Amino acid sequence: MSNDNLTAVLYGIEDLRLEQRPVPEIADDEVLLKMDSVGICGSDVHYLVHGRIGDFVLTKPMIIGHEASGIVAKVGKKVKNLVVGDRVACEPGVPCRYCEHCKSGQYNLCPDMIFCATPPYDGNLTRYYKHAADFCYKLPDHVTMEEGALLEPLSVGVHACRRAGVGLGSKVLVLGAGPIGLVTLLAAQAMGAEQVMITDLVQDRLDVAKELGATHTLLMNKNDSAE
Ligand SMILES: [Zn+2]
Ligand SMILES: [Zn+2]
Task: Note down pLDDT in tens along the chain; length 227 residues.
Answer: 778 999 999 999 999 999 999 999 999 999 999 999 999 999 999 999 999 999 999 999 999 999 999 999 999 999 999 999 999 999 999 999 999 999 999 999 999 999 999 999 999 999 999 999 999 999 999 999 999 999 999 999 999 999 999 999 999 999 999 999 999 999 999 999 999 999 999 999 999 999 999 999 999 998 876 65
What is the rounded CA–CA span in Å between residue 208 and residue 214?
9
Residues 196 and 140 in one domain: no
Residues 208 and 139 in one domain: no
Residues 22 and 101 in one domain: yes
The answer to whether position 225 is within a domain reads: no
Residues 41 and 95 in one domain: yes
Compute the distance from residue 109 Cα to the ligand 2 centre, in Å. Answer: 7
Smallest CA-to-CA distance from 133 within 37, 39, 26 is with 26
The answer to whether position 1 is within a domain reads: no
Ligand nearest to the CA of 94: 2
Whole domain around residue 185: which residue ranges? 154-219
Compute the distance from residue 119 Cα to the ligand 1 centre, in Å. Answer: 14
Smallest CA-to-CA distance from 210 within 158, 159, 174 is with 174
Q: Of 124, 149, 174, which residue constitutes the final position of a domain? A: 149
Compute the distance from residue 198 Cα to the ligand 2 centre, in Å. Answer: 35
Parallel, antiparallel, or unpaired for β 93-94 and 114-115? Answer: antiparallel
Half-sphere exposure of 82 (CA within 13 A, CB side): 31
Residues 126 and 197 in one domain: no
The answer to whether position 224 is within a domain reads: no
What is the rounded CA–CA span in Å between residue 206 and residue 73?
40
What is the rounded CA–CA span in Å between residue 61 and residue 111?
23
Compute the distance from residue 53 Cα to the ligand 2 centre, in Å. Answer: 22
Domain count, the chain: 2
Residues 198 and 145 in one domain: no
Helix (H) or strand (E) run with residue 222 in it: none
Compute the distance from residue 199 Cα to the ligand 2 centre, in Å. Answer: 36
Ligand nearest to the CA of 67: 1
Please check whether residue 33 is in contact with residue 128, taking contact to mean a CB–CB distance below 8 angstroms.
yes
What CATH number is attached to the domain comprising 203? 3.40.50.720
